Amino acid sequence: MDAVFILLFIGVWLFVLFHFSISIPKGRFRKKWIEGKWPEHDHLPLFLPKLMHWIHLLCMLALAFSGLYIRFPFFDGGRTPMRWVHYVAMTIVGLNFLWRVWYAFFSKNRDYKKFGVTKRDLQSALGVLAYYGYFSDSKPHVAEYNVMQKMSYLLFAVLMMAQGFTGLSLLTQELPLIELSMREILVGWWLGPLVGGVAVAGAWMRILHYAINWLFIIMTVVHFYLAVNEDLLIGLDFFGFKKYPKEKLVSHGHGHDDAHAAPAVAAVAEAE
Ligand code: HEM
Ligand code: HEM
């Protein structure tokens, strides 16, 4: 399994490099990186989603590093500290995830609609794929996030829950008072009898946890590449490195719910 994932990881980097190199003869590189013609926006990212994304990113880096160390102790003496790093980061990332979900559905600036895949999104899917496959030069603009973004963000959320579940199922210490471990609570009673014991169920959870670890790493490489190469200016704003230039803010609707999108000025005011 390790060899497969490592090959996949290298393959994704090569693919990204290949995709980037085609953008040079296609003129996209020049348009964006030399002439500075990056996509225009009518909304700017708000402060709290930026903060949560930062917390999430730092925790994910710590989790991937410490997790891989738990599996392959690649230097001496790190076993206990790396376990602690994993436990602390998993607690923070879990709370941060709940906060993001709460924010999406219940806060004043709830934004769950941005992530919903609509019929129009599905109809635009071929066009979006054609744009990324260099078959067409225009990307359909249906909403703030395109259909691929929406689906990958939703997949990130599903993977987070799966990673939390499989990760907690690796804990075999008995909890105080109830005299059961997280493994027994989460998988022991249903998966255990199916696969021939709690230990086997735990072993499956370890395999899944490890496979999802690689899925995260691979998806993050693509997400990182697209964030930088497709929309650098909003990326810099999202990370708080450089404000998105106000003169580039445009006011246009997205077709459906927010067809009567607020004027750009209001969007800026909202962002600040
Ligand atoms: C989301 C919440 C998470 C929880 C609750 C969690 C929990 C755990 C636990 C309890 C272990 C076993 C540690 C030990 O043996 O002492 C573990 C191992 C591991 N975790 Fe996580 N983790 C989470 C997220 C992640 C993420 C996001 C990644 C990678 C991106 C990751 C990668 C790993 C790896 C590679 C291992 C080693 C697995 C092995 O031994 O084969 N974990 N995790
Ligand atoms: C490697 C560094 C990363 C970069 C440069 C990056 C960049 C970005 C950017 C620029 C956006 C905003 C898009 C927009 O609003 O137009 C975004 C949103 C998002 N990113 Fe990342 N990201 C990174 C890592 C990650 C990781 C590790 C995950 C999850 C495992 C992730 C999950 C998301 C999600 C779910 C969103 C949706 C918006 C939100 O949550 O507010 N990102 N990312």
Query: pLDDT by residue (tens digit) across 105-150?
Result: 999 999 999 999 999 999 999 999 999 999 999 999 999 999 999 9
Q: Are 216 and 223 in contact (CB under 8 A)?
A: no
Looking at this protein, which amino acid is placed at residue 64? A
Q: Which residues line ligand 2 (CB under 6 A)?
A: 45, 49, 53, 57, 60, 153, 156, 216, 220, 223-224, 227, 234-235, 238
Q: How many domains does the chain fold into?
A: 1
Instruction: State the Cα–Cα distance between residues 71 and 268, nearest whole angstrom.
Output: 46
- DSSP helix/strand/coil, 190: coil
Q: Which residues line ligand 1 (CB under 6 A)?
A: 60, 63-64, 67-68, 70-71, 83, 86, 90, 93-94, 160, 163-164, 167-168, 170-171, 206, 209-210, 213, 216
CB atoms within 10 A of CB 43: 21
Which pLDDT score, from 0 to 100, does residue 252 have? 59
Query: pLDDT by residue (tens digit) across 78-101?
Result: 999 999 999 999 999 999 999 999
Q: Show the domain range for 160.
A: 2-271
**114-128, 167-181, 189-203, 246-260: which has the minimum mean pLDDT?**
246-260
Query: pLDDT by residue (tens digit) across 24-72?
Result: 999 999 999 999 999 999 889 999 999 999 999 999 999 999 999 999 9
Tell me 181's DSSP state.
B
Q: How confident is the model at residue 268 (pLDDT cuts 50, 70, 90)?
A: very low
Q: Mean pLDDT, to the nearest integer, of 246-262?
A: 58
Q: Are 267 and 249 in contact (CB under 8 A)?
A: yes
Instruction: State the Cα–Cα distance between residues 185 and 194, nearest whole angstrom.
Output: 15
Q: Which CATH number fits the domain that encloses residue 90?
A: 1.20.950.20
Q: Which ligand is nearest to the CA of 213?
A: 1
Which pLDDT score, from 0 to 100, does residue 259 have? 38
What DSSP line would sit under 178-240, residue for residue?
T--BHHIIIIITTHHHHHTSHHHHHHHHHHHHHHHHHHHHHHHHHHHHHHHHH-HHHHHHHTT
